[in-house]
Structure 1
Amino acid sequence: MFKQYIGWKFTLISVAVVIIVTTIWFVNSLTEKIQQEETKKVAIWVEAYRELIHSSADANLNLIGEIVTNNTTIPMILTDDQGRIIDQNNFDSSLFIGKPGYLEEQLASFKKQHPPFILGVDANSNQYIYYGDSLILKQIRYYPYIQLLVVALFIGIVLFALSSTNRATQNQVWVGMAKETAHQLGTPLSSMEAWLEILKEKEESAPLANELAKDVNRLKLISDRFSKIGSVPNLEECNLVVQIDSMVNYIRKRAPQKVTITLQSAEKEVSAMISPPLFDWVVENLLKNALDAMEGKGSITVVIENHPAHITVDVTDTGKGIPKAFHDKIFNPGFSTKKRGWGLGLSLAKRIIQDYHKGRLSVKWSEVNKGTTFRIWLRK
């Protein structure tokens, strides 16, 4: 499925590149032909103007005059031998009235675009005609780039809309699954609590009832976590050191004997606004993933650092590590490197930190066969 997606995406990009290159090549070829035609028109105009200057008084100038007056699109500037501007043609007067130096700037630009035509006035002096591209030629030259920009903007908006719609659909699925899970857990939990009360009435069953009560409370906590997905979380100011320490102790009791779990913090109190049940869920998920990665032996280190504007919690294990190509993909729903599991734990954890706590969850470091560090970043 993933390979098919990559292949489809690469094909789409390749087709788009071919279309863009072909469009630019065709337009450049077309503008070059139009530019050659405009050069011919200027040459004819210069020849007609030269004939008009040197013609006798009784010559028929109707055709020559029509050629000269019909040029209304190609801008031209007439200069003398010293480069002084004598006249101009086909400029919008509103562009240079009140703007000193405008014609000089255009003249400098024309000199870079085309070589001038020499207009001989007499045996001792010449005049030069410089010309630029017509407005139509400029529009044709830049049109494909503007078009491609508009198309790219449109595609970007469409992709953003599709991504937002897809994300909204995923959120609805997540919320629906979480609410339904909490609902399904509610009924057996109520029944188990009733049976616990009956067991507690018998003195010989008290030890068993106490142990069962712990598991029931654990199930109630899980149900409470699921019920909070999709609703506005109630953030409380909590001491992260105490909050994380309780979860570390819980996992430590259930970890293999050859696994050591330590918590490090330079301060005994690091306050942050969190939803305790949801934040515990994230920490628990990271610790359980670390245990799975180590396969029964190694160490897990949780480091809390209090910075001026933010707080970081790093969970580092000495497990098998994560290949670099998977660093971003492990947070996608359904993606898992383990043989069992649905691949939802890290995706849910990231959503809890990112959407509910306005923080970040990412892979800070990982190397195959050496270990991994997950980082939780929280604003103060």
Structure 2
Amino acid sequence: MSAVTYCTNIHPGESWAQTLASLENHTLAVKAALSPDEPFPVGLRVSGQASLELDIREAERFRHWLALSGLYVRTLNGFPYGRFHHVPVKAGVYLPDWRDPERLAYTKRLADLLGWWLPDDGSDAGPGSISTVPLGFRDGFDPGQEGLAFRHLRQALEHLDAVAQRTGKLIRLSLEPEPGCLLETTVDVVDFFRRFEAPPSLSPYLAVCYDCCHQALQFEDPAASLTLLADNAVPIGHVQVSSALHLESGCLDRLARFDEPVYLHQAVGRRSNGELLRLDDLPQALAGGRYDVESWRVHFHLPVFLAELPECLSTQGFLQEALPRFDPQTPLEVETYTWSVLPAELRACSLTESIIREISWVEAHRRPGRTPGPPPWPACAGGAPPR
């Protein structure tokens, strides 16, 4: 079975009917192009609304549809709960966070669904993984409420244990570090695992969702980051394969066209002494004028086959170093959910064509010794990137 797919949070739609339509309209075409004769994984986003609409009967119908279509589900994106496209999302994407009982209830619903859909033992699909908010967004999170968040997390792990006892399937809850959140660096993750102290019976159900864009934003070294996780026995449930903007200049104005109203675009500047300046959104950073930094990285997921743009580079180099270091059985998901807000020339391909090209690029770079994949500029864009 393939370990590389894409996350369906790229497709608009909050209802289950809309989710299923996107699979029929896009995912089946991706499978036909990349894995016509073998089962193909789906990195499935199920919103809060869709999770409430799905009953056992519909979940069973979907399981049969997956089998007939040659698809399987190993991972669920349980991070964005509410509407995720075409309206301002910004910091609302972290709500409800782990202080809120609804985050717990939502995660339990996802666990039940994945327990139903995850291939039975005996296949080589491996454990399931549900990505989730890294506790919450730091701004407005009272440190005194961390204990409440920890209690809800433990209850979620207890539910995953119950699912495992009932179904024989291991599903991990994978916290996804993100800039501006309580967990953003690899050091934060290791510190959390030490402080959380999951009992031995529940520790198999807790992991991290490793988003390459998010860790590149911290100017982390991929080898050092992954070694730190391994040395501290922090498992990776699945990987979000993504790139950020990288500007080798202190003049952030060059990235002004990426200031758009839907998503949060955290900006991180690195000073000459290695210190980092962190700002919660690109408009805030642009309004601040010039900063004493040598380079910037901005949270804006780009197609992973792009190494450079007219005004800057991407953090593709982080991916090239990181991809061969992941266990071959770890699920890899391309996550370019920003498709609808990308500058027009970066959408010169169709959405389906872009997804296919991104997955092909990942496949070409995740195996050591392989030669680089296709050129950084989309062939369907025609010619070389503009200067």
Q: Of Structure 1 and Structure 2, which has the larger fraction of its residues in helix? A: 1
Question: Which structure has the higher relative contact order (CA within 8 Å, separation 6+)?
Answer: 2
Work out whether the TM-score is over 0.5.
no
Q: Larger Rg: 1 or 2?
A: 1
TM-score by length of 2: 0.20
TM-score by length of 1: 0.20
